[in-house]
Structure formats: C-alpha cells, structure tokens
Amino acid sequence: MKLITEEISDIQIITEGKGAKKRMCIEGVFLQGEIKNRNGRMYPIQTLANEVNRYNESFVRKGRALGELGHPDGPTVNLDRVSHKITSLVQEGNNFRGKAQLLDTPMGKIAQSLIGEGVMLGVSSRGVGSLRMTNEGHKVVGEDFMLATAADIVADPSAPDAFVSGIMEGKEWVWEGGILREQLAEKTQKRINTLVDQKTLDEHKLSLFNDFLSNL
C-alpha cells in the first residue's frame, strides 16, 4: 500500500464566535473524485464515498479527526504536531467539502499566526492504498484506500510533484498485527542476500531490481 497525498490550495478562512469564544476555521474542498489530478492519479467516486463514510463514522463524529501542520512522512497522526480538528466532511457531487477548526495547540497557534499574517495555506489529504496504472497513462486509486486524515495544513500546496512523490511514494505500508508498518528497500536487499547460487542470484537480482523500480 502506497502513502498517497493530494494537495488543494483553494480554502477559505472563517472566524466564528466573539471574545473568548472566538475560533478560527478553514473550509473548502478536501477531496476530489473522478478527475485526474496533477499528480496523475484518479479517485473513483465510490471509493472516496465509502472511505469518507468510514472516516466520518470512526473519526469525525467522535471528535478524533485530527490533522497536522506540514508534510508528515507516514500514515499515522502525530499528536505533538496536531494543529486542527476536522469537524465536517460532506459530499458535493464529485467533491468532498470539509471544515476544520484550528486548535490552541503549539502547531495550531502557529497556523493561526501564519493566517493572521496573510500567509496563503492549503490542505493536503493523506492516506494509504494501492495504485493501478491505466492504458491512458494515469493511476487509479484502489478500493483499499484508507484516509489517515482528510486534511493536513501545508504552506506549499503547489509543491513540485517530484517532492511529494519522493517523500510519499518511496515507501510501502502494510497491515501487520492491526498496525501499519513501513516496508523499505532493505527488504529487497535481504532477499538478494539469501540467494547463494550465482546463476540464480543474477537472475533474481534483475527481477528484484525491476520489481523495486516499478514500485517507486
């Protein structure tokens, strides 16, 4: 399962309440389906709808839908970097519109300060899932897609695709004992080291190397 992130820059800043009850929120499209995005990926709308339903039930409605400030490099939410809580995520056609409340955590205060100083921020969804290449040259996200968070807050929503791909897609993640664990390239090296016959070794080296490249 690949770690997949998608960034969107068109979000609105909303201030609710007055005085001590005043709070800052961000709102906008967090997820998009049935369209090839600039990362060359397409999310079937039913895949997104199914996962958003699960995410809403398990996280949003229970007040556990959290997001971070910045670009995390894994599929879990780090509590020391939490900046906001996602309070709603609803479908509008092929889009899923979300709303998040900025929290009074250290990272939440940084986000509020940046917004107050006029910094343009965006959101980036983060999840894990399989990818299938189509004949048209783009990748389709599989039905096993799972959201880690519907929105992290990022300062560079227009970051080059290579930056995102390099960090997010150079690793694979698997379920092991109910926990997402990282699989690194060392696994390939370990398999090579177990081969003792030279001819078999050469054949497997080429095969494993091609498999490794195809998964980058």
With residue 199 as reference, give the H or E element that holds it: helix 198-214
Q: What is the pLDDT of residue 106?
A: 97
More confident residue, 34 or 173: 34
- At 74-119, the pLDDT tens digits run 899 999 999 999 999 999 999 999 999 999 999 999 999 998 888 8
What are the angstrom distances between the C-alpha of 157 and each of 10, 93, 114, 153?
A: 9, 23, 15, 9
Enter the tokens of residue 91: 């479908």
204: three-class secondary structure by DSSP: helix
Reported as a single tens digit per residue, the pLDDT across 172-208 is 666 666 666 666 544 545 554 555 455 565 566 566 5
pLDDT digits (tens, 9 = 90+) for 123-181: 999 999 999 999 999 999 999 999 999 999 998 654 433 333 333 444 666 666 666 66
Is pTM beyond 0.85? Reply is: no
Catalytic residues: 71, 124
Task: Supply the pLDDT for residue 168.
Answer: 40
Q: Which of 91, 94, 83 is nearest to 25 (CA)?
A: 83
- Given the DSSP bridges, would you call strands 139-141 and 41-42 parallel, antiparallel or unpaired? parallel
Backbone φ, ψ for residue 215 (5° rounding)? -95, 0
Nearest CA to 94 among 41, 138, 34, 11? 34
